[in-house]
């Protein structure tokens, strides 16, 4: 399963509307958890499966006016790493992709040139730590 829901609403903590915090958390974190919950029991029962969570470099590094967004992406990283440990013995892989800002046309061009579909492209780039370094994507 590829978990790729996300929203970025930027602002300073003291001036950003609290409703934007909730909206981002619901989409970036709760939707991710719901997606994982929907497939994980079946993957565990089969002793196989792969969950790919799309995050952001903002889950590893902070940026100005990104506090709430970075918080949601740090949560995505923590959830992914925790669930990875929980299911590792069951041959269920939990992978995170943390791209930096990229012009989507660069990714699309690479996919066209290599004649790969998106899941194959992601699996191709996975390193041994189950994380795709952002430099490999661009």
Write down the catalytic residue from 22, 69, 104, 108.
69
Three-state DSSP state, 113: helix
Write down the catalytic residue from 22, 44, 61, 73.
73
Residue 73 annotated in active site: yes
Contact 3, 36 (CB under 8 A): yes
**Tokens 């995170």 sit at which residue?**
96
Dist CA 126 CA 102 (whole Å):
18
Residue 69 annotated in active site: yes
Q: Are β-strands 92-97 and 49-54 bridged in parallel, bridged antiparallel, or unpaired?
A: parallel
- Non-local (6+) Cβ contacts of 72 within 8 A are 24, 25, 28, 29
Three-state DSSP state, 29: helix
Residues annotated as catalytic (active site), given as ranges: 69, 73
């Amino acid at each position: 399963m590829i978990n790729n829901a996300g929203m970025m609403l930027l602002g300073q903590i003291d001036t950003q509307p609290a409703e934007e915090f909730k909206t981002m958390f619901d989409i970036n974190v709760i939707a991710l958890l719901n997606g994982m919950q929907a497939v994980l029991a079946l993957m565990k029962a089969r002793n196989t499966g792969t969950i790919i969570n799309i995050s952001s470099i903002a889950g590893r590094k902070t940026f100005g006016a990104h506090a709430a967004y970075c918080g949601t992406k740090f949560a995505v990283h923590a959830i992914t790493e925790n669930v990875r440990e929980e299911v590792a013995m069951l041959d269920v892989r939990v992978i995170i992709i943390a791209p930096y800002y990229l012009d989507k046309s660069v990714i699309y061009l690479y996919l066209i040139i290599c004649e790969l579909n998106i899941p194959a492209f992601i699996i191709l780039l996975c390193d041994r730590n189950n994380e795709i370094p952002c430099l490999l994507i661009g």
